[in-house]
Structure 1
């Protein structure tokens, strides 16, 4: 489930290694520059970007999964990341298990029945996040993290990289949770090191958070009319409210629009109250008047199944 992992290792954590003289021997140095009076060497290590200075080493902007397994279509589990960090440590002659993690992506690819944009259209608002629809994906931006859904095949082709045979000609939806800053604070721990990534309890916590973040997204148009359960005109009216609500973006978005209309003077307090009550009434009978949409039901199942096996 791991993909991109950025590391920062300081001199005192590495036992006083001379990074400029020693570490630079173990990766392809492509540039030298000065930053705040300090010499910095930069280069790459088979797709990972490496920078070293007298005080530290930074590894970033590359997929640890791709570096170790060859591509990031595969799932990088807990055991894989342990072996990858050991390999990275051996390659650079550094204790990368002690390095601080400055970015962390949890991701999984799903082979799905429908084109990926079908699933994007069913993912609505997420509380305290900005929803950004893109041509080939969907982003939810929050402070210090993002949820990202995109077409993995299109991304691979755009980069002119090969598609593994298992995925060729299929619909592949990728779901990522990216922690980009203040990771330890978000995950309620003092610090996150390379070694912590393969700690079982921490790994389980990460995967459950990835699953729960998906579950917190409101689902748009995730129902179709269940005519067998619709017996009265009142049922039809409520179904109409439900359909409008889901086209709008979910219950909270409907409430937001009602509140804005009230502030503009287009609705009285009583009218706004009545409309909110109608939305609540429709939500309470939702299960009786609707059946789950095939696409969102499929994605729900795949996300939940992905966290069943902790490796």
Structure 2
């Protein structure tokens, strides 16, 4: 397990590619002017517009033909070189407009079983599940975080599944960085930066910090011998009540719903305080314990992060 790169979008000064397949143009309906044209070369998408060329591709697909086989750091660089050699151009000066970091975690259970225990995140403004298959976190156009069942996605798209992944529970954690990329080095991130191990590790640190920013649901422990005061007794009962209502995230969503109904009667900060209080109670170290599924997910994602650091720095890996 490790943290790797899947999709990458690279912006370059205009390039002239004469052999693109399925080339087509898109016209502005108001002016009749050509907005952009795009086409494909192998499984690499090329878009041309306003004196620029943008290359969009999945690095695992470049090397392995699928995007479930994770690439280590040196394989990521080899995939970038393959793109460069394929077009006969240097892409190192290209600006990265989007980069998707991911980790495929082989879990004990299907992905949907973990979503209930993953609450909101201080790094993202919106959290919303999609049926039982995915859990999305969004922050405008800056960045997005996704949890989903990778094998189900591949089956729905009728994609080839390598035999080592058949009948496995693979939960993918994917973070899609867009305009947020300028925050990492306080400037545009370029392909050349990926060749610097320190810059690459800064990306993986953003990835793990986004995961860590999620509020994880806990399990209530009713132990009245630990209630040495009325406040502690009420907190124990409150934690049990939160759990009976469906968990912290469910209660937070109830508060948001009541905020909509009383928008003109109660100041907005009232609801923010109530939500903060719910989180504080739900995380009391004396009256809760971690849910087993979250312990598993936390452990495996942290191992993926540490594996990545070890590989980049000294090519060592932990199991």
TM over 0.5: yes
Q: Quick one: distance in 1 between partners of 2:119 and 2:74?
A: 34
Q: Which runs of 4+ in 1 moved over 6 A?
A: 250-264, 274-278
Gaps of at least 5 residues in structure 2 are 313-319
1:282 is displaced (CA, Å) by 3.4
Aligned to 1:195: 192
Find the residue that maps to 1:302 and give its secondary structure: helix
Please point out which of 7, 30, 42 is paired with 1:4.
Answer: 7
C-alpha contact (below 8 Å) 1:103/1:179 kept by paired residues = yes
Aligned 1:30-69 pairs, distance under 5 A: 30-33=22-25, 42-52=38-48, 55-60=51-56, 62-69=57-64
Please point out which of 117, 120, 129 is paired with 1:133.
Answer: 129
Gaps of at least 5 residues in structure 1 are 12-18
1:158 matches 2:156:
yes
Q: Quick one: distance in 2 between partners of 1:281 and 1:54?
A: 51
Please point out which of 287, 291, 298 is paired with 1:289.
Answer: 287
C-alpha contact (below 8 Å) 1:24/1:52 kept by paired residues = no
Please point out which of 305, 308, 312 is paired with 1:307.
Answer: 305
In structure 2, relative to structure 1, the CA distance for the partners of 1:223 and 1:163 (3 Å cut) is: same
In structure 2, relative to structure 1, the CA distance for the partners of 1:243 and 1:59 (3 Å cut) is: farther
1:96 is displaced (CA, Å) by 1.2
Find the residue that maps to 2:104 and give its secondary structure: strand
1:74 matches 2:77:
no
C-alpha contact (below 8 Å) 2:222/2:236 kept by paired residues = no
Aligned to 1:242: 239
1:120 matches 2:112:
no
In structure 2, relative to structure 1, the CA distance for the partners of 1:249 and 1:161 (3 Å cut) is: same
Q: Quick one: distance in 1 between partners of 2:229 and 2:261?
A: 28
Please point out which of 200, 205, 209 is paired with 2:206.
Answer: 209
Q: Quick one: distance in 2 between partners of 1:92 and 1:168?
A: 34
- Post-superposition Cα deviations, 1:186-205, rounded to whole Å, max 9, x if no partner, equal 32432211121231111111
In structure 2, relative to structure 1, the CA distance for the partners of 1:248 and 1:207 (3 Å cut) is: same
1:137 is displaced (CA, Å) by 0.3
C-alpha contact (below 8 Å) 1:98/1:195 kept by paired residues = yes
C-alpha contact (below 8 Å) 2:21/2:40 kept by paired residues = yes
Q: Which has the larger radius of gyration?
A: 1
In structure 2, relative to structure 1, the CA distance for the partners of 1:223 and 1:44 (3 Å cut) is: same
Q: Quick one: distance in 2 between partners of 1:100 and 1:278?
A: 43
State TM-score, norm by structure 1.
Answer: 0.80
1:134 is displaced (CA, Å) by 0.4
1:237 is displaced (CA, Å) by 3.4
Find the residue that maps to 1:84 and give its secondary structure: helix
Matched pairs, number: 294
C-alpha contact (below 8 Å) 2:224/2:233 kept by paired residues = no
C-alpha contact (below 8 Å) 2:248/2:278 kept by paired residues = no
State TM-score, norm by structure 2.
Answer: 0.78
Q: Quick one: distance in 2 between partners of 1:250 and 1:34?
A: 44
In structure 2, relative to structure 1, the CA distance for the partners of 1:217 and 1:57 (3 Å cut) is: same
C-alpha contact (below 8 Å) 1:114/1:171 kept by paired residues = yes
